[in-house]
Structure 1
Amino acid sequence: MHFADHPPRFDLRRDIYQKLPKTDNIIDWKTINPLEAALPVIESLSSFVCGVDIKQLDIVDLFWARQCYWRDTLALTAHLRTFSGPKEITATLSYLSRAREIGSLVVLPESAQVVSTVANLTWLDCKFTFKTRYPTASCLGKLMMLPEKLSDGQLHWKIWTMATLLTAFGDFPEDVRLLKEPSSVIGSSTVLSTDVVIVGGGNAGLIQAARLKALNVDFVVIEKNPQTGDNWAKRYDYMRFHIGKNYCQMPYLPYPEEAEYELPRDELQRHIQRFAREFDLGPRVLNNSKVKETSYDEKAQTWKLNLIVEGVQKSITCRALIIATGSGFSTPFVPEVADRGAFKGPSLHSSSFRSGKELLEHGAKSVIIIGSANSAFDVSEDCHNAGLTVQMIQRSPTYVIPMRYYAHPQGLGVFDVVSTEVADAMINMGPVAIGGQLPGLVHAAMAAEEPDRYSELNDAGFKAVDSTKEDLIDHLHSRAGGFVVDMGTGGVDLIVSGTAKVRSGVTPVSYTSTGLRLSDGTLMEALPILVMRLSATIPLAVLACAKATLAAEDVAKGDTAIDIHEDLAAVTIESLLEVHEVIVTLTEEIKPSPRYEAEHNALLKRMSKSHGKWDTTHPRARLLDALHGYVRYRERQTAELDKWRRMYKSTSSSQKKVVEHAVGYTKKMDTVASLIEQNHVLCQQVVDGALEFYGVERDEMTRYIEAKEKENKAAERVSVSQALKHYVRDWTVSGLRERDAAYPCIIQSLEQYFPDRSQGDVKVLLPGAGVGRLGHEVAALGGFEVTTNEWSMYMNLAYRFLEKHPRVGSNNVHPFIDGWSHHASTADMFRGVAFPDRPVNTSAVVLVEGDFTTAFKGQNGHFDALVTHFFIDTARNLMSYFETIHGLLRKGGIWVNLGPLLYGTGPYVQLSLDEIIAVVNAMGFEFVDAPESCGELTFADEKVRGREAVYGFNERALVKNAYNAQSWVMRKK
């Protein structure tokens, strides 16, 4: 049985929540004996899962036909999965119960009870235990049952929800006595090995470490900070949890009774330090460490991580890898606001912000806080207490929930009433479709009793939404926040009293010298400090953390499926930027190098109409053609989509009915249309950046486009699409597989022939650079002065956009929506890809635009090395490429090549590999040894190697494009 890895995007309240039944008046609940009512249902279910001859049709009838769910947490699916509908549940349960060999279900009599909540909803609740043989494990189950009177007049109990949970593995018992044993020291070796590596030494990582120690499993923790507890110590002083401490209780060592209910930063720091000391976890932690790269050995089934530990390179292998880096909110997400240079005061990111008092000591008098959720209120209260004037920008209405609601025992406050283990099962076992709504019903009822609670807050300009309109679980699951817990400690009062000013319904669009210009044209002033926010929801942040740690194929090969009913969903990137969290921003721009500036000035001269002959090959004409393509991205892609819409109309009405009912094909095309719009926004940003970089007035571009279109010359579509796909290939972890097939050969060749770069930078040229990643990889080695070259203006515009927007994950594209073939799932086709996956350093690489054979005239003998990657077969005249390479290299210079021989574009000459060998030998090159990473020898008597190199852009596609790419290293005689 196959479970889809990437279910479709969802909205929790719209797509997952279902209308709850009203059951209060079906029966007299006071007459029900819960255990007697539950036993027959659990016994029938037990017979079915144990393989007793009960027909599946009969077991289907056990479930409430109108609405039923089964959520499994690791017990049978080895994952988090939710199934809905009687047929789907029973079919899946039939398969998995036999695969796992489930034993009898054992009722827990004391758990049987009648449960009532608001909204006329009452049900029968009962738990049971069971064991599985494959693997040997103990599990917990729970049923929520509803009464139904059938045509025979008898009362029948139907399963509304079923939940199953793994509680322990039989072969791996936990022994808490081991926690007190001394831990062995990792040692100073540069080559390490262990069973489990945990990346992240905060709360999640150290709790997992303690669990592994109790299981007698060897582990190593990789932590970036110098000391345990720094994950809290480096947060701002006023930071606190906006939930009771029992909800976030730690195993093995609970928080002290005397600790505050809403845990403050310092207590969080102290306790995780106590936790590490109590169980002697420190010797198993590598502090001041960073994961440089990872790889997975399929044959050995082990991971290898290359690390930097306090400046020393080390490697570690392990059987299992755990990413415990948190939800990713420590990663700065900096908003794009124009004219940053105009602002005369400093900007701080929350990783640098400590307290309002510190700001005051540095001369600050006022702050602007962009954001209106929990952190915004913390920071505003702290800054006010320090004596600063506080102004807040609220983009949109904010959900406000009093702490009293939050801590209600029929919601998350249940952790204050029962043990953590029991509360965990109550809150987390059941399907979100039902369990997610129940706290919301309680909160809504409480809010309805005090409808004017936040009227004064609204009157003061802060747009507050209460629990009658918003849902806490939806915010936690889908957005990981975006709301305010009214702690009753002054944050709300500051706004109500007018002490803190609020501007609602606006966003910052640009800096001024003393503050911000807002979207409504008004100004806000705050000097010298500007407080800003931009954060992402859990799915994006978690994905960013994983991608920052793992190689692309390693992310893909893991069991990363996401359940539509679970905590994460296969959502598009643009929907992940809707969280109101405060982050105080500090941006440190990398200034272009003098070499970069010189080339930019030279480029602008070449772009002038007065430079050279004006025709279609003039650099400015080619630039304007490319701008035409990006400007008309939406129109050209929509026209292509409309073609498919027309084709779909050719199907019969009965065929359409089936397709629409089964998959919603029209909705699929509508989704493509919306994603085209999102890509169009990116394309217009590319255009805006290009106009600024190349010094082109918008009017000139518009006139050029209008003239072209009067001549019926359509904008280029494919070249723009290919450039966007090159972002995936070059600047995302999704493209790592392609890069790993080629880059090691090139990188190792350069390092082999230029091992000592201490006497001055080695000048290296990389023509055919695309959107530039390889050049940046070479620059990152150090000691190389890197120049890249690219002819295509579509690629150059894409690269110039990256130079202007270099921050990791700051951009997003949906690259696969214009290709309808070879998709395993619609989600794969729709998915968005964030880029770049590493910063783009404009001081390290200089791009020279233009034709490779003419762009470097006057520079013969200038370069020490020249790298051609998937390039030489693009030549119109291959011999001109060879002559240019030979001319640009100094005597003894090195030429590294890797790529196919796929000739196109009307080549003048097409040489086979053996002919190329003969020609370049005759021109004055000699072959030298290439690293083994370049592949196997193609000819036994020649130093040419070949290896498979993927060239696609979509690692999830059902087709793979690959070449036997040929590589060589030559020296100019």
Structure 2
Amino acid sequence: MTAEHESGAESMADHDDPLADSEERRVLHAAFDSFRQYRRAAHYNITHLRRQSFYALPAAQKELLSAAPFSLPKTFDAVDNAIDSNADIAEAILDAIMPGFGLSASDETWKGKATQNDMDKARSTIRQMYRDWSAEGLPERHASFAPIMAALNTYLPAESPAQRHQIRVLVPGAGLGRLVFDMCLAGYTVEGNEISYHQLLASQYLLNYTQRAGQHTLFPWALSFSNHNTRANQLRSVAIPDAHPGAALEAAEQEIGSEVHYSERMSMSTGDFCVVYRQPDYEDTFDAVATCFFIDTAPNVIHYIETIKTCLRPGGVWINLGPLLWHFESTLTPAEREKAQGKTKGTPSDFEGIGEPGSFELSNDEVTSLVSQYGFEIVEQRDAPATGYIQDPSSMLQNVYQPTFWVAKKK
């Protein structure tokens, strides 16, 4: 990691050693392997199988659909080129990050570990770069991030942007790191936390290893053939990242004149949010916790509430924006899945965070009532702007969230 490329986000390899634990090592290897297999799997599942189905058509239909304006064989070729461009991003992540874990392309120990679930995560992570790191994704980001940034300024005002470093913010579920980056850009001292190795590997690459804005060409919609008004819509590309993190932070540093360098104001932690931030070292640490499209990832949202109460200082604010698409609705939690498979982990006294048994789903008014009962005062609550989440704006199918926004102060 060279100095000119380092944005200030802490390296995972420096922060912790996941290779020391056999289970963590397996999950990390699977994440690496899923990025490695992106190219081959996408070519097979997206275009190879479609070509087989196309060439099984009657000769007259093949001839019709091979000619303009349809030209399906040419479409398959164009999608193959798009897959290759996306795969270049996946492989750039590997080339940049693997050496920090003592791994190389010639090392066979990490290969062949990815499950279908890992492959799905790799594809969604690459596609998520549209939302977080393209100019075209700005409307989605603005709808989610702007209310949070405004609330920070309202409830924790600094005397000047240069002194915002005094305000410590935690972002659980930091994903690809864009909200963390934007907060650091504004002068705050911010720590992101993420449990997904797919997201962590990609965010570390984007924040610390990209060399320029627009370095990569991403085709976010090319792998799906449904709901396109025109073929050109399917094959639209975007340039990522829309800003070079190191250069942007350096420019912001000059503009706001922060008293603390950005490299000391931005970090990322790995692991289960509830396990990491219940530790005594984090008690009463943060001035604000910002949860964006996050709290519905909890099987038991009480664990999130308790953890935030622990790590937030008295008088600190919890800023939340997002829907309630409960991720574990009608599915087994990790602990329940392991029990069903006859596996055990740890001892009954170990707290396993998101892996703890049991789950439930609440409505929005019930969530805010629960937050209030755990020692918070809801000081603001309203509807947030309607927004998609990694939504193709030209698609014939539009999934739109009507998120809620609220701010709670720890008593």
User: In which range does the TM-score fall when normalised by the shorter chain?
Assistant: 0.7 to 0.9
The structure with more radius of gyration: 1
Task: Name the structure where strand makes up a greater proportion of residues.
Answer: 1
Secondary structure of the 2:319 match is strand
Partner of 1:740: 142
Check if 1:972 corresponds to 2:389.
Answer: no
Alignment partners' CA distance in 1, 2:92 and 2:5: 20
Secondary structure of the 2:383 match is strand
Amino acid at match of 1:886: K
Partner of 1:891: 314
Task: Give the C-alpha shift of residue 600 in structure 1.
Answer: 5.0
Secondary structure of the 1:867 match is strand
- Greater relative contact order, per chain length (Cα 8 Å cut-off, separation 6+): 2
- Out of 207, 225, 233, the residue aligned to residue 820 of structure 1 is 225
CA gap of 1:637–1:881, structure 2 versus 1, over 3 A, is same
Amino acid at match of 2:4: E
Amino acid at match of 2:82: L
- Out of 578, 582, 589, the residue aligned to residue 4 of structure 2 is 589
Partner of 1:566: none
Alignment partners' CA distance in 2, 1:888 and 1:927: 18
Q: Does the aligned pair in 2 maintain the 1:897–1:967 contact within 8 Å?
A: yes
- Out of 642, 657, 668, the residue aligned to residue 75 of structure 2 is 668
Alignment partners' CA distance in 1, 2:272 and 2:171: 13
Range that drifts further, 643-652 or 877-886: 643-652
- Out of 289, 292, 296, the residue aligned to residue 873 of structure 1 is 296
Alignment partners' CA distance in 2, 1:825 and 1:917: 44
Alignment partners' CA distance in 2, 1:760 and 1:950: 32
- Out of 623, 629, 633, the residue aligned to residue 34 of structure 2 is 629
Secondary structure of the 1:740 match is helix
Task: Give the C-alpha shift of residue 877 in structure 1.
Answer: 2.0
Alignment partners' CA distance in 2, 1:770 and 1:972: 25
CA gap of 1:639–1:688, structure 2 versus 1, over 3 A, is same
CA gap of 1:956–1:767, structure 2 versus 1, over 3 A, is same
Q: Does the aligned pair in 1 maintain the 2:97–2:205 contact within 8 Å?
A: yes
Secondary structure of the 1:742 match is helix
Q: Does the aligned pair in 2 maintain the 1:629–1:715 contact within 8 Å?
A: no
Task: Give the C-alpha shift of residue 918 in structure 1.
Answer: 1.5
Secondary structure of the 2:369 match is helix
Per-residue CA distance 1:254-290 (angstroms, 9 max, x = gap): xxxxxxxxxxxxxxxxxxxxxxxxxxxxxxxxxxxxx
Q: Does the aligned pair in 2 maintain the 1:863–1:890 contact within 8 Å?
A: yes
Check if 1:677 corresponds to 2:84.
Answer: yes
Secondary structure of the 1:705 match is coil
- Out of 643, 649, 653, the residue aligned to residue 59 of structure 2 is 653
The 5 Å alignment of 1:730-769 reads 730-756=132-158, 758=163, 761-769=166-174
Q: Does the aligned pair in 1 maintain the 2:65–2:72 contact within 8 Å?
A: yes
Partner of 2:338: none
CA gap of 1:592–1:681, structure 2 versus 1, over 3 A, is closer
CA gap of 1:818–1:767, structure 2 versus 1, over 3 A, is same
Alignment partners' CA distance in 2, 1:697 and 1:809: 27
Partner of 1:582: none
Per-residue CA distance 1:370-410 (angstroms, 9 max, x = gap): xxxxxxxxxxxxxxxxxxxxxxxxxxxxxxxxxxxxxxxxx
Amino acid at match of 2:59: S
The 5 Å alignment of 1:297-446 reads none
Partner of 1:723: 125
Task: Give the C-alpha shift of residue 964 in structure 1.
Answer: 1.0
Task: Give the C-alpha shift of residue 871 in structure 1.
Answer: 0.5
Partner of 1:689: 96
Alignment partners' CA distance in 2, 1:715 and 1:743: 29
Secondary structure of the 1:596 match is coil
- What's the TM-score once normalised by structure 2's chain length? 0.81
Secondary structure of the 1:627 match is helix
Partner of 2:396: 958
The 5 Å alignment of 1:439-454 reads none
- Out of 608, 621, 633, the residue aligned to residue 19 of structure 2 is 608
Task: Give the C-alpha shift of residue 865 in structure 1.
Answer: 0.2
Per-residue CA distance 1:633-659 (angstroms, 9 max, x = gap): 112112212222223234322222221
Secondary structure of the 2:398 match is coil
Task: Give the C-alpha shift of residue 916 in structure 1.
Answer: 0.8
Check if 1:786 corresponds to 2:190.
Answer: yes
Alignment partners' CA distance in 2, 1:806 and 1:924: 46
- Out of 343, 361, 364, the residue aligned to residue 913 of structure 1 is 364
Check if 1:922 corresponds to 2:373.
Answer: yes
The 5 Å alignment of 1:181-200 reads none
Q: Does the aligned pair in 2 maintain the 1:636–1:715 contact within 8 Å?
A: no
CA gap of 1:947–1:676, structure 2 versus 1, over 3 A, is closer
Alignment partners' CA distance in 2, 1:745 and 1:767: 17
Check if 1:854 corresponds to 2:275.
Answer: yes
CA gap of 1:735–1:592, structure 2 versus 1, over 3 A, is closer
- What's the TM-score once normalised by structure 1's chain length? 0.35
Task: Name the structure where helix makes up a greater proportion of residues.
Answer: 2
CA gap of 1:806–1:775, structure 2 versus 1, over 3 A, is farther
Task: Give the C-alpha shift of residue 797 in structure 1.
Answer: 1.4
Task: Give the C-alpha shift of residue 592 in structure 1.
Answer: 5.8
Per-residue CA distance 1:906-960 (angstroms, 9 max, x = gap): 361101112112211110010113xxxxxxxxxxxxx343431221342232222
Per-residue CA distance 1:597-630 (angstroms, 9 max, x = gap): 7x75232x3x232x5xx23xx2x22211111100
Alignment partners' CA distance in 2, 1:717 and 1:971: 40
Alignment partners' CA distance in 2, 1:592 and 1:689: 15
Alignment partners' CA distance in 1, 2:57 and 2:393: 32
The unaligned stretches of length 5 or more in structure 1 are 1-338, 342-587, 930-942
Alignment partners' CA distance in 2, 1:821 and 1:591: 39
Q: CA RMSD in A?
A: 2.3
Task: Give the C-alpha shift of residue 885 in structure 1.
Answer: 1.1
The 5 Å alignment of 1:496-515 reads none
Amino acid at match of 1:735: G
Alignment partners' CA distance in 1, 2:6 and 2:364: 44
The 5 Å alignment of 1:24-423 reads none
CA gap of 1:917–1:818, structure 2 versus 1, over 3 A, is same
Per-residue CA distance 1:804-826 (angstroms, 9 max, x = gap): 01521122222222111122222
CA gap of 1:799–1:592, structure 2 versus 1, over 3 A, is closer
Task: Give the C-alpha shift of residue 590 in structure 1.
Answer: 5.4
